[in-house]
Amino acid sequence: MQGGVRTVDELKKIATDIRKDIVSMLEAAGSGHSAGSLDLADIFTVLYFHSMKYDPKKPNWEERDVLFLSNGHTVPAQYAAMARAGYFPLEELKTLRKFGSRLQGHPERTKLPGLESTSGPLGCGLGQAAGFAYDIQYFEKQVHRFSYVIMGDGELDEGNIWESALFAGKYKLGHLIAFVDRNDIQLDGNTEDIMPLGDLVGKWQSFGWHVQEINGNNVKEIIEAIDLAKAIADKPCVIIARTIPGKGVDFMEYDYKWHGISPDEKQKNEALEDLDKECA
């Protein structure tokens, strides 16, 4: 039900299109979060155009994989991926953050079919994805169904995350696949300055998780990591995806100041040129 079999090059092209959508949407909105949205484009591309099972015509299809976006401020990337996957017209992307839009500044399930939840306040997504994964494993006993969650790295400051990490470890939630967007930034600065996360691999392992560390801007590595995570049935899996904040736009890359702001028109045009170059 997903978009079919695609080559890595085709997926890269989709990721670039999503990045262009993000830049244009954020400029039109006049506010929003650029860095994380851009760096997650590759993961959303792989999820919506390779790994996840879903049907945009039947958003509540009972065999679909589910995706919980815990760091809801990166939702422009998800909206762009969903539009390109057929959930709604691309044209609607420019309504982001506008009055009356289904594309709220932070995602709201009740507004837009295809969203699994409502998020924005950080730390809440892992528990929800774990609850859904518990249902898949213990109640519905579905074999080929997965509950995905995307978290930010700064978000790991939240206690709720670690409560849910304990829970998933205890119940060996083998249908739970989590991403940590390890872009090393949060709103006030670099994560290791604001609140050091230290040995993330060791932390998650000690909570009973299977851990992989990958380049989260490499489509092939993302695909392989998900394939491995799906094959591990007796543990929840976390993929620590090292990404470049603002990925694809030279003047945004690695600069934490782009965490919570949007480009103006000039910056948008410059960004689109950068992304065209990447594509060429």
Partner 1 sequence: MSNYVLAQDFNSEEPIRAGFGRGLKIAGDNNANVVALCADLTESIHMHVFKEAHPDRFIQVGISEQNLITVSSGLARAGKIPFAGSYAAFNPGRNWEQIKTTVCINDQPVKIVGCHSGINVGPDGATHQMLEDIALMRCLPNMTVIAPGDSIEAEKATIAAANSEKPCYLRLARIKTPIFSSIESPFKIGEAYILKEGTDVTLVGTGTMTSQLLIASKILYDNYGISAEVVHVPTIKPLDEDTIIGSVQKTGRVVTSEEAQIIGGLGSAVAEILCEKIPMPMLRLGINDRFGESGEPLELLDYFGLTGEKMALKIQEFVKKVPKYQKGF
Residue ranges that bind partner 1, judged by CB under 8 A: 66, 68, 108-110, 116-121, 123-136, 138-140, 147, 159-160, 163-164, 166-167, 170
Question: From start to end of the chain, where are the E strands?
Answer: 66-69, 147-152, 176-182, 185-186, 189-190, 210-215, 237-242
Of 116 and 274, which has the nearer Cβ to partner 1?
116
Of 56 and 123, which has the nearer Cβ to partner 1?
123
Residue type, 93: L
Burial class (CB in 10 A: 0-12, 13-18, 19+), 28: middle
Of 99 and 139, which has the nearer Cβ to partner 1?
139
**Which residue pairs from 273-276 have beta carbons closer than 8 angstroms and sit at least 24 positions apart in sequence?**
274/248, 274/249, 274/250, 275/16, 275/19, 275/20, 275/23, 275/248, 275/249
The minimum distance between CB 132 and partner 1, in angstroms, equals 4
The minimum distance between CB 171 and partner 1, in angstroms, equals 8
The minimum distance between CB 141 and partner 1, in angstroms, equals 11
Of 129 and 239, which has the nearer Cβ to partner 1?
129
Of 46 and 126, which has the nearer Cβ to partner 1?
126
The minimum distance between CB 212 and partner 1, in angstroms, equals 23
Per-residue tokens: 126 = 């892992």
The minimum distance between CB 28 and partner 1, in angstroms, equals 25
- What's the CA gap between 106 and 128, in Å, rounded? 16
